[in-house]
Structures are given as C-alpha cells and as structure tokens.
Amino acid sequence: MKQEKEKNYCTLYLVRHGETEWNVKRINQGQSESSLTEVGIKQAKETALKLKNIKFDAIFSSDLTRAKRTAEIIKLDRELVIQTSKLLRERALGSFEGKHSDIFKNTLKDKLAQRENLSDEESWSFELADDIETDEVLVTRFITHLREISVAYPSKTVLVVSHGGPIRMFLLKIGFAKKKELPGGSFKNAGYVKILSDGINFFVKEVQGIRKPEGGE
C-alpha cells in the first residue's frame, strides 16, 4: 500500500468489551446482557490508557451494555457521541443464551465434531442449530457495517467496540489467520486490533491482546 494512498484510508480500532460476570461463570452470552466485572472495568481503563493519545473522530459500539460501557470508559473526556448498532452485536446463540458453556458443548457435541472436520471454507455456512447464527451471517453483517463506517470516515480514525465472536470471524475472513490458528477465546477482553480500510479492503496494522498460537493449537 503506497504512503499517499494510505492517507485516504479509514483507521479502525476494533476493541472487545471488558470481562463480564457471565465470562467468569462461563455462561453463554450471545446477544443477552451481562454486566462488566470490576476486572472488566479495569481492563477497559487499561485499554483507554493505551489509546488516550489517539484522536478519534467517531465512536461506534454494539448496543449491548457490556460493549457500550467499555466504549464509555475508553472515550474518556472526548466530546463524541457513542453511536450504537445491532450489527456489531455478538453472535446470536438462541436458546443457548444464559446457559453454561458445558451445556452448549455437550448438547451440540456431534455437530461440533462434524464442523471440526470441515474445511475453513465449508464451515462458514455450517449450522450448529436453527437458532444459532452461522459464521457467514455473523461476519457478513459485521463487515458490512465496518465498510459503511470506513466509507463515511475516509482519512479519519474510528473506535469500534464489539465482541470477541464477530472480531475473530472478521480476522479470519480477511485472511489474518486460519480457524485452527485462531480458536475461540483467542481474543482477550479489552484487546484491540488496528485496521486500515478503503471501504472494501482491510489491512491489519497492529494487534493487542490476541493469542495466535503457533502450529494452530
């Protein structure tokens, strides 16, 4: 990417929300609400400190409370309105929301094993259950909104606070890693990724808080 062309790109900081009560209890959140823990608030404050010198031109957030609260903390004293969107929400988990993750794994163990044997390309449209959002549906709504933001804010810098699921799927979709190289849980609470976008393409420039295991494990 040429230097002069890069100046027209939107700079996106994609941040995952801080730790929540359900994160600690290993309860599936999906699009249900769960408040930040004291640790989660501290994590958000630490990220706010890392990003305090960034001149954000706009702030977007998932409309779920855990993301909005994280955005409010990172905002500090910037005079910006946090714009919320359902398109930035976590994956919809249907009837599994509010249930322990072990119930999810045990109930869907055959489906999960089946998905494990699929190629990355085949797994995008694979349905775990009728009421669970597929990878393809999740990443399509997320990327569509990021492209809209990038087009609306050329040469600007934008904070986007979302969730581990959509940010992970986004990174996989743009080729940052293969699925086995970036399993679920790889993206830490309040971690962030710096992205450049022209409204079509995305380029990863910096990662903070992502565990990308070597050898795909």
Q: CA 85 to CA 145: how far, in whole Å?
A: 9
Q: Is 90 part of the annotated catalytic residue set?
A: yes
The single residue of 19, 90, 97, 133 carrying the catalytic annotation is: 90
Report which DSSP code applies to 200. S
Residue 2 three-state SS: coil
Please tell me the distance from the alpha carbon of residue 49 to that of residue 205, in angstroms, as a whole number: 19
Say if CB 192 and CB 16 are below 8 A apart: yes
Taking each continuous run of H as one helix and of E as one strand, the counts in the chain are: 9, 6
**Residue of 17, 97, 145, 163 marked active site:** 17
Is residue 19 part of the annotated active site? The answer reads no
Active site residues: 17, 90
